[in-house]
Amino acid sequence: MTYDPVGRLRMIPTDQEAPERVARLRQLGLGGQPDPEFDAFASELARITGAPYAMVNFIDEHRQFFAGLHTPSGGMTGSDAAAAASEPGRVMDRDHGYCPHVVVRRKALVLEDVCDYPRFAGNPVVDEIGIRSYLGAPLIDRTGMALGTICVVDVEPRPWGRPGLETIKSMAAELVDRIHRREDELA
C-alpha cells in the first residue's frame, strides 16, 4: 500500500502480477468484451446468493472489466447514462471496489458491512453506487495466475457468513473449470 498525497491511505494494494495477468487474459481471449456465458453465470450467482449485483471481473493494470454482469434491472448497464449513475457498468477503475484486493491477496473476501472496516468504508463504490456488502473470490487458473474474481454486492449489509464464503469459493472453482475447458477446446 502507498500513501496518497491527498492525506489518506491508497485504497488498493500494489499488484505486481498485472502485466503477466494481462498477457494470460489475452492468451485466453478474456477481459475485453462482454461474454453471454459469463453474464449467465453472474445471473446464476446472484440467484444463488440472493444478491442484487453479481460480476465476473477481469483486472488489468488500470481497470476492471465485468465480462459477466448481473444487475437488479437485469440489463447489462454501461451505455445508459441514467442506469450507469446507480448501477455499475462494464468498466470500473482499479481503485473502485474490492476485487483488486481479492486478486492481490489471492483469497476470498467477505465484507458483511463495508462500513465496519475503515480500510474499505472509504472506497468510492460506497458513495457512488451505495455498496454496503461484498463477497468475492479469486479466479486462479492452472498457471497459478489470479485472472480476476467473481463477486456479489448489495446495497444493504448482508450476513454472508461461512455459507456465503463456501458458496463463492465453490462457484469460483466452477468458473475456472469452465475457463480451462474453453482453453482446452481452442488448443
Residues in the chain: 187
Residue 152: give its domain's CATH number.
3.30.450.40
How many percent of the chain have pLDDT more than 90?
68
- With 0-12 / 13-18 / 19 or more C-beta atoms within 10 angstroms meaning exposed / middle / buried, residue 182 is middle
Q: Which domain holds residue 82?
A: 3-186
> Smallest Cα–Cα separation from 88: which of 110, 108, 117, 67?
67
Q: What is the pLDDT of residues 156-169, one digit of tens each?
A: 999 999 999 999 99
Tell me how far apart the alpha carbons of residues 113 and 156 are, in angstroms, rounded to a whole number: 8
> Smallest Cα–Cα separation from 42: which of 79, 85, 10, 75?
75
**pLDDT value, residue 49:** 97
Tell me how far apart the alpha carbons of residues 81 and 78 are, in angstroms, rounded to a whole number: 7
Domain count, the chain: 1
| Number of C-beta neighbours around residue 89 at 10 A | 17
Structure-model confidence comparison of residues 129 and 170, the more confident one: 170
Q: How far are the Cα atoms of 36, 91, 108, 166 from residue 33, in angstroms, in the given order?
A: 10, 10, 25, 29
Structure-model confidence comparison of residues 108 and 81, the more confident one: 108
**pLDDT value, residue 123:** 83
**pLDDT value, residue 149:** 98
Q: What is the pLDDT of residues 128-148, one digit of tens each?
A: 888 999 999 999 999 999 999
DSSP 56: E
**pLDDT value, residue 78:** 39
Q: What is the pLDDT of residues 56-98, one digit of tens each?
A: 999 998 899 999 999 998 644 433 333 334 456 899 888 888 9
Tell me how far apart the alpha carbons of residues 14 and 26 are, in angstroms, rounded to a whole number: 21
Mean of the per-residue pLDDT values for the chain? 87
